[in-house]
Structure 1
Amino acid sequence: MTDHVLGPDELLTTTRSVRKRLDLTRPVPLELVRECLEIALQAPSGSNRQGWHWIVVTDAEIRARIGEYYRRSFEAYQRSRPPAEELYPGDRDRIEVQHRVSESAAYLGERMGQVPVLVLPCLRVPGGELPEGNQAGLWGSLLPAAWSYMLAARARGLGTAWTSLHLVYEREVAELLGLPQDVRQGALIPTAYYTGDTFRPAHRAPLAEVLHLDTW
């Protein structure tokens, strides 16, 4: 638990994706993860189905194997991405930020399997096949709970990051974890104590650039 009690606005604006500052050597008590998940279970879900399931991985060998799948997927993703200079031509500030993000993402890509706890939020999907078309309702029954988990972790001195690149190997990871056919993975959330505590609101584009009243 952190010594500094976070108010709701500070909690919401300083819960960052933690990658390079995850403490890979300090064990995370399972009871602390359970506390965060108990809070996550209070999130809303479509028709109150509560169809979520949570895979918490602490076994070193399983973490390493999941980490290897993630590393492969991240390297392929990294090769496919254009450089920041092409994405944001002339915007030096944004280019510098993206370089830092890319560097930290690469750091985690190499070390995902070393993170003390890996949490995989999952959903039961009838037949195991994702529906065609708009899936907002489906994943909208899982993402609020996953975000609540991440907020609860932040309030307790734990860092997390939302990742999903392992889903390129979703079937292989499902077999590794013994998941039933109708259980689909939504994300992979590394969880560890973080080093330092200088989290602050991130720079974002002004609200005026993305707010539309009544019409576009």
Structure 2
Amino acid sequence: MTGAFDVGEVDRLLTTTRSVRRRLDLDRHVPRELIEEALEIAVQAPTANNHQNWRWLVLTEAAVKEQIAELAASAWRHHRNAMMGAGRRRHAPQARRMDASVAAFTANIGRIPALVLPCVISRPPDSRAVDEQWQRQVAGAPEGDPIREVSLGPLRSSVFYGSIYPAIWSFQLALRSRGLGSSISCLHLPFERQIGRLLGIPSGVTQICMVGVGYTLGGDFHPAKRYPAKERTFWERWAT
């Protein structure tokens, strides 16, 4: 059948693309052409109004990666301390494993073969300001008019981030299909201004996240333990 895919292989790709933190090969060079191929796949992802206002900054220079690693390590220390004090959940076995995984990834950011920073040409919308502006626009509408209850802030925020994250996921899938692993980190974002100055990123550009890229060590990956979708899916109405 024209256009058909091997569903089994597609499903295997989708269900085994994991966040690879401790199993990245820190000593094996990642060819530039593989990252470029994966990015060409990524930019086929949907983007609101076809803006395509994404940019991708690829970092491979050791000295630059080390500077980012130092900032990310500082952010991780503060974040981890805050999370550890947030409740007993952080003492659960799964939470401890996650902490150890993120800690290992953070400690090695400077050695990861490639760091990719997906960016958006613009700044995130201020949801409150958007809603306040809208309310001024509809102030003359009659009482009870549904238009007075409209809130545009969540829509604008969803459009902003929803126009880049599908491409980031496609990038990760394309890397996986080429034998590479990846993991998203946002630990550099508390230092967005400093990193912007370091890398020459204009102030009007938003750094969305950081994707560590490398070949993987060990065996293949398996689907993660997840709650079955049917247990958390409602039809027609929300159910408790």
TM-score by length of 1: 0.89
Partner of 2:136: none
How far residue 20 of structure 1 moved from its aligned partner, in angstroms, is 0.6
Partner of 2:149: none
Equivalent-residue separation in structure 1 for 2:12 and 2:87 (angstroms): 32
Cα pair 2:89 2:95 within 8 Å, conserved: no
Partner of 1:131: 125
What amino acid is aligned across from residue 187 of structure 1 in structure 2? C
Equivalent-residue separation in structure 1 for 2:181 and 2:54 (angstroms): 22
Counting only pairs closer than 5 Å after superposition, residues 49-198 of structure 1 correspond to structure 2 as 49-82=51-84, 86-87=88-89, 95-125=92-122, 129-133=123-127, 134=154, 135-198=157-220
Moved more, 186-195 or 73-82: 73-82
Equivalent-residue separation in structure 2 for 1:9 and 1:84 (angstroms): 36
Equivalent-residue separation in structure 2 for 1:144 and 1:111 (angstroms): 26
TM-score by length of 2: 0.80
User: Paired residues, what number?
Assistant: 203
Moved more, 100-109 or 143-152: 100-109
What amino acid is aligned across from residue 121 of structure 1 in structure 2? P
The unaligned stretches of length 5 or more in structure 2 are: 1-7, 128-153
Moved more, 206-215 or 34-43: 206-215
Equivalent-residue separation in structure 2 for 1:63 and 1:214 (angstroms): 48
- Deviant stretches of 4+, over 6 Å: none
Larger Rg: 2
Cα pair 1:24 1:192 within 8 Å, conserved: yes
Equivalent-residue separation in structure 1 for 2:90 and 2:69 (angstroms): 31
Query: Does residue 229 of structure 2 align to residue 207 of structure 1?
Result: yes
Which of 11, 36, 39 lines up with 2:41 in the alignment? 39
Cα pair 1:54 1:122 within 8 Å, conserved: yes
What amino acid is aligned across from residue 113 of structure 1 in structure 2? G
What amino acid is aligned across from residue 195 of structure 1 in structure 2? L
CA root-mean-square deviation: 1.7
Identity of aligned residues (%): 40
Would the alpha carbon gap of residues 138 and 85 (structure 1) be closer, same or farther in structure 2, given more than 3 Å must change? closer
Cα pair 2:182 2:211 within 8 Å, conserved: yes
Equivalent-residue separation in structure 1 for 2:85 and 2:34 (angstroms): 39
Cα pair 2:38 2:171 within 8 Å, conserved: yes
How far residue 214 of structure 1 moved from its aligned partner, in angstroms, is 1.4
Cα pair 2:59 2:116 within 8 Å, conserved: yes
How far residue 170 of structure 1 moved from its aligned partner, in angstroms, is 0.6
Residues 146-176 of structure 1: CA deviation (Å, up to 9, x unaligned):
1100000111111100111210001111111
How far residue 96 of structure 1 moved from its aligned partner, in angstroms, is 2.4
The unaligned stretches of length 5 or more in structure 1 are: 1-5, 90-94
